[in-house]
Amino acid sequence: MALPEVLVRDLQSAGYYPQLTQGILADSLFGEPVLSHFVHIDTHVDIESIHRHVTAFVLTETRLLLAHVDDDPVAAPGGRARAVTSSEDIELERLGTVMVGRTFTDPASYTPGDAPVEVSLTLSWGAARRIEAFPETCGDPDCMGDHGYGGSTFAEDVVLRVSAEAEGQAAVDRIAAFADRLRQAVFHARLRARR
């Protein structure tokens, strides 16, 4: 199946194995048209190496497709490059959380239609959970007793943050549009599931 030209162009602009990511998506669509997409490239630099990662978020009428391509962390130094891929499709009505956070500059002067300078998208469907633990206290600042640990668990399968300072305002606008389209699609999928 041929992918939409704008998706192919975004994969090529990301510059990280675009043909490989295109192949994963084409194999996963099963003939469904692409309603919306967002391509995110992420690079981590440490003392010894550079790790790259691309994720393509693709919305269809029934599913959210995620295609990931990563540098292989166990590739032999100086050897041929290797990439590890994974793909996942989540039925829209299974998405438990579609949380969109937006950051605006000069909120006192906000007018409808102003674009955010940062957008975060948090998605959960029960595949992963994050645990935050902390030591409990009794409230007495001089107490040296061990009160155990407390904490919280959060369903958080994907967290994506796009900032105008890092990726540019055009990327923020694209993720905002994708998030709005995804929220609408999930809303309508849930309505259909209730009928």
Rg (CA), the chain: 20
User: pLDDT of 29-42, one tens digit each?
Assistant: 999 999 999 999 88
DSSP code for 128: -
So what's the pLDDT on residue 9?
Answer: 96
User: pLDDT of 71-119, one tens digit each?
Assistant: 876 666 777 888 889 999 999 999 988 999 999 999 999 999 999 999 9
What average pLDDT does the segment 59-64 reach?
A: 96
Spatial separation of the C-alpha atoms in residues 124 and 58, rounded to whole Å = 16
Element spanning 9, H or E: helix 5-14
User: pLDDT of 115-145, one tens digit each?
Assistant: 999 999 999 887 555 566 667 788 788 887 8
Query: Is a pLDDT exceeding 80 seen at residue 10?
Result: yes
User: pLDDT of 149-172, one tens digit each?
Assistant: 776 655 557 889 999 999 999 999
Kindly give, in sequence order, each residue whose CB lies less than 8 Å from that of residue 23, ignoring residues fewer than 6 positions away. Answer: none
Q: What is the model's pTM?
A: 0.81
pLDDT band at 44 (very low <50, low <70, confident <90, very high): low
Spatial separation of the C-alpha atoms in residues 3 and 67, rounded to whole Å = 14
So what's the pLDDT on residue 187?
Answer: 94
